[in-house]
Chain A
């Protein structure tokens, strides 16, 4: 039982490049989330999903896109990377209690 897995762990992007952050969970959770965390700060919700085929914007969705074609996977897409997107990205999943299980994070630097 791996829980929530994220790839890659680290990535450096140039301004304007695109990339996809991968997230998978094996707990059969319906709810999945993407957060970003800036240094010494809390978590800001980017997008979330309540089930396959259903996604919705969180607090800071601009510059990101998501899809949820299966229960297990919830990739996050950055289309035109900007320095403001330098952050640590966490994927999480939860069941009906909304208790979040977090992945190990992806540390992204945009230069």
Chain B
């Protein structure tokens, strides 16, 4: 099973600041997914990136898949309190299982 390292583990910022969350592996994934989880709920899929070098934007969120498909990043511009939550990356192994990173807890203070 491949491992996904996510950093930072915890991030506490002020409203309006920018931030980046990283997801790294030494192995190649066929695709990579980002989820957001709010307290007491299940994770919800934000985006899937498939092609090396791919960049996807979702309003203030920008997702990038590394050229070698081993790493990914999530950048949030002008964070808002509503962005608070646990952000999880998940790599799809060549097969039918996902490997989840440990998650980044984001807290945005108003």
Residues of A whose CB lies within 8 Å of any CB of B are: 4, 31, 33, 35, 40-45, 48, 50, 58-59, 90, 92, 97-105
Other-chain contact of B98, A4, A45, A90, A101 (Cβ < 8 Å): A45
Measured between beta carbons, the chain B residues less than 8 angstroms from A48 are 96-97
Measured between beta carbons, the chain B residues less than 8 angstroms from A92 are 42
Residues of B whose CB lies within 8 Å of any CB of A are: 1, 6, 31, 33, 35, 40-45, 48, 88, 90, 92, 96-98, 100-103, 105
Measured between beta carbons, the chain A residues less than 8 angstroms from B92 are 98
- Chain B binding surface, main DSSP class: strand
Other-chain contact of A42, B31, B44, B48, B88 (Cβ < 8 Å): B88
Q: Is A42 in contact with B42, judged by CB distance below 8 angstroms?
A: no
Q: Is B97 in contact with A42, judged by CB distance below 8 angstroms?
A: no
The number of inter-chain residue pairs (CB within 8 angstroms) is 55
CA A4 to CA B42, docked complex, whole Å: 10
Given known A-B contacts A42-B103, A59-B1, A100 and B98 have beta carbons under 8 A apart: yes
Other-chain contact of A43, B41, B48, B96, B100 (Cβ < 8 Å): B100
Other-chain contact of B90, A31, A58, A100 (Cβ < 8 Å): A100
Q: Is A50 in contact with B1, judged by CB distance below 8 angstroms?
A: no
Measured between beta carbons, the chain B residues less than 8 angstroms from A45 are 97-98, 100
Min CB–CB distance B37 → chain A (angstroms): 8
CA A42 to CA B110, docked complex, whole Å: 26
Min CB–CB distance B57 → chain A (angstroms): 18
Q: Is A105 in contact with B42, judged by CB distance below 8 angstroms?
A: yes
Other-chain contact of A99, B48, B101, B102 (Cβ < 8 Å): B48
